[in-house]
Chain A
Amino acid sequence: MRETLTHLTLKRASLQLGVHEQTLRSWEKRGLIRMVRLPGSGYRRVPVTEVERLRNEMSSTQARPAVRLAPPRRDPEALARAVALAETVRLELAGLEENATLDEVMAARRGRAWLS
């Protein structure tokens, strides 16, 4: 009966994940993958569970996710009402810039400088 493999060589793990061996070493340094060292030689071995975990994460990152588009109404009556209401909103927001500029508001929202 064949033994279940619990650890892979670096080469085999890199082939299964489709990345270079050096990339796996770099991931290990950054704490992104857990490896074990063989007693004596110190060679790396990658737990199969780690390879499976990374494969799942990579596929969920790389797979193109679906999007949904919700279009606006396009009838002239709705547009006329929208233009009038937008003007009202503009007037209601007239005082917004008294406290901050657009760049300051956006910088506060995103946590980074906001300049053209």
Chain B
Amino acid sequence: MVIVDTDVMLLAFAFHRDPRQEANHRFLETVQKRGLVLPIYSLMELLGQLSFNLSPQRLSEWPIWLQDRYSLTILYPATAESQAEAFFQAEFISRPFARMQQYPMPYLDSLILNLAENAPDVEAIITWNARHYRNKTTVDVKTPAEYLG
């Protein structure tokens, strides 16, 4: 599976004059047929940003204009057998903190990387800011342009 970060999806809807639009569009149209995955934390970050510009009604329709449009699978952490408190401690505190100690990084990056690394059969994480993730994760990181080759 190919995991996309917030900026790739943000570019799909806004910043129409950005020079990366063409490559971003080509990437999404090409790869969505094979299945794109968006971490829940990236989705919430994206909706938070768009909440300044979209009506509450439009925002609530994201499963249509975002998920269905780009055939996105949303990646969630699962509680498995763990109890709520243990899950919260591990998912939101100890794992991201251990990662931040190993490689200095923003909290949201650490949440996204933790989720991505535990997803099955991850081919790559796609972001326009690939250089910040590289060498900080076991998963391959590429920009949309690099992915298309």
Task: Tell me if chain B binds chain A.
Answer: yes
Q: Are B89 and A60 in contact (CB under 8 A)?
A: yes
Q: Does A78 contact B (CB under 8 A)?
A: yes
Judging by beta carbons under 8 Å apart, are A92 and B54 in contact? yes
Residue of B68, B79, B80 contacting most chain A CB atoms (<10 Å): B68
For chain A, give the interface size range: 35 or more
Chain B, residue nearest A112 (CB) = B106
With contacts defined as CB atoms under 8 Å apart, how many contacts are there between chain A and chain B in the complex?
142
Chain B interface bracket (under 10, 10 to 19, 20 to 34, 35 or more): 35 or more
A5 is an interface residue with CB less than 8 A from chain B = no
A71 to B109, CA, bound (A): 23
* Per-residue contact bits, chain A 86-112, to B (CB 8 Å; 1 contact, 0 not): 101110111111000110011001111
Q: A115 CA to B19 CA in the complex, in Å?
A: 12
Using A92-B54, A110-B106 as known contacts, say yes or no to A102 and B68 having CB atoms under 8 A apart.
Answer: no
Measured CB to CB, the residues of A under 8 A from B are 57, 60-61, 63-74, 78-79, 81-83, 85-86, 88-90, 92-97, 101-102, 105-106, 109-116
Can you list 16 pairs linking A and B with CB atoms under 8 Å apart? A67-B76, A67-B120, A72-B73, A85-B64, A85-B69, A86-B69, A89-B54, A89-B58, A97-B15, A97-B16, A102-B10, A102-B15, A105-B10, A112-B106, A112-B132, A114-B7
